[in-house]
Amino acid sequence: MISLIIHGGAWDIPDELVEAHKLGVSKALNIGWEILSNGGSAVDAVEKVINYLEDDITFDAGRGSHLNADGEVELDASIMNGSTFRCGSVAAVKNIKNPISLCRKIMDESEHIFLVGSGAEKFAIQHGISICSQDDLRIEREILKWKSIQGKNGFSTKDAFKFHTPAGTVGAVALDSSGNICAGTSTGGTFNKHPGRVGDSPLIGCGTYADTSIGGVSTTGWGEAMIKVVMAKTVIDLMEFNNGDPQAAAEKGIKILKEKADGFGGVIALNNRGEFGVAYNTPKMARAYINSQMNSPKILI
């Protein structure tokens, strides 16, 4: 069995943006599926899927991400190999075009797991990852959106999800032909966040988790709530104790998120048999998935 599931964020996706989200997750799925179908690794598939989504300005990851309160892009990401338990994470990086690739480099070549800000960018330079400018990451749509709320007080990160303002964190979980599972997540974070704010996406156990003996998870949503319930690891633990049912685990995870932290968002899960789970409590969630038992992929919003 080989299997791949991806998401492009859980929020109230407007009708006029639905097709762009469908197209984005569909193209990303095709990239990852080609890698897995040709015997490639789950790690390669997750990295390349997320690279594509980071480059697609439809989503809140990489180029086109939301701006923080200072009008800058700050990016967070993480990746985890479920066979080795090695992982890599970055947060608050301002000059990296594809932070998931920097996470992979940290996972593969560093004794550390989590690097932030200028330290993460220094590591990138030392390991052959090029630096970009803010102008390479900021786009007119996000600049205009940021300018429109300046001078307005009281806009919180929770408001961004309660009132369904745009958010499009991306993530992927893959199972390869060797039986390895990898999960990864990348985001520009919540719109108008405080500079230096870090959500769940780069935190192993909150936004990303993989254990090849059980499964893998990537999350999206209001990060402060996801952190409180350690969402990704919670869903993994639920799968471990429910005979590996990813759908039941995902649904229970979202129930816990809402009941314990009044949280909003979504989760994708994949078990070690290549079966899928998806749950969310926002109006919509962009996702796509396929495994070797399916005749064609599912592309859903």
Catalytic annotation, pick one of 58, 157, 169, 282: 169
Our answer to whether residue 169 is catalytic in this structure is yes
For the chain, give the DSSP string.
--EEEEEEEEE---HHHHHHHHHHHHHHHHHHHHHHHTT--HHHHHHHHHHHHHH-TTSSSSTTPPP-TTS---EEEEEEETTT--EEEEEEESS-S-HHHHHHHHHHH-S-SEEEHHHHHHHHHHTTPPP--HHHH--HHHHHHHHHHTT-----HHHHHHTT-----EEEEEE-TTS-EEEEEEE--STTPPTT---STTSBTTTEEEETTTEEEEEEE-HHHHHHTTHHHHHHHHHHHTTS-HHHHHHHHHHHHHHHH---EEEEEEETTS-EEEEESSSEEEEEEEETT-SS-EEE-
Catalytic center residues:
169
